[in-house]
Amino acid sequence: MPRIIFMNDRLVPEEEARVSVFDHGLLYGDGVFEGLRSYAGRVFRLDTHLDRLWASARAICLEIPLPKNVVAKAVNDTLAANNLTDGYVRLVVTRGAGSLGLDPNRTHNPQVIVIADTISLYPAEFYSQGLKIVTAATQRVQSAALSPRIKSLNYLNNIMAKLEGLRAGCVEALMLNHKGEVAECTGDNVFVVRSGKLLTPPPDAGILEGITRNAVMELAHAAGIDCHEATLTRHDIYTADECFLTGTAAEVIPVVDLDGRTIGTGTPGPITARLTADFHKLVRQ
């Protein structure tokens, strides 16, 4: 059955969902997006995702042509039109069609697109047994050059690192910043457990401050787990008791090996298991 897509002001069959070849989102990756999850018919932290989308758009001087409440309704309507209660939503805003050239002032008609579908980012056995990942040679773009807090349509930096991971036989890769510090993986935030404490890189390490990341930090505090941001290097991951990743699509997934070095016991640890269970409870509330 064809999927139903929200385009600007209405729901249309996917074969009718089109953007201009002159759209700067296509030509230059000029636009912003959010990935959201729906659980039991409710979108997890929809308002927070929309706030981040609007912040990203404002940072690149892109005026979203619809108000937040209309976009929120479009997200829920698209899920309903596709008969999805547990699903993934990709919300995209492009700069709009324009002339060839970088000038965003020569564009018009920004496109607001909502796509809803199912998603299975990693096989089930990776959640029970853990991921093996490698460090990518591709560095995270410096924050002074382009803020990682802008969730833009240009993901080439992440894609190049992802290719390195895939060619090494891994589904994910760790990215370092220009100082050699741990930033994030290609699509997920990083956590380590050391001596019962939960640590994750701070925003100034060059990360996207993930919504799932923040939810897991809240859960850790509620569980009495000492959790805080800290500058990390690969040494901290190599010598950690546990490691896991968080992301909207990935949720919470353990990492048991980095660069061929076993992390902890080589199996998902108890704090990872606790926070995974707590996260699953949270999203169903």
Quick check: is 197 catalytic?
no
Number of residues that make up the chain: 285
Q: Is the Cβ–Cβ distance between 241 and 194 less than 8 Å?
A: yes
Torsion region of 221: left, alpha or beta (phi above 0 gives left; psi -120 to 50 gives alpha): alpha
Query: Which member of 151, 162, 179, 281 is catalytic?
Result: 151
Longest alpha-carbon distance in the chain: 57
Distance CA 52, CA 31 (A): 13
Q: Show the tokens assigned to 149.
A: 């807090």
Q: Show the tokens assigned to 198.
A: 């939960």
Distance CA 235, CA 253 (A): 20
- Dihedral of CA atoms 152, 192, 133, 129 in degrees, nearest 10, equals -120
| Partners of 273 in beta bridges | none
Residue type for position 145: A
Distance CA 279, CA 247 (A): 12
Q: Is the Cβ–Cβ distance between 252 and 188 less than 8 Å?
A: no
Residue type for position 236: D
Active site residues: 151
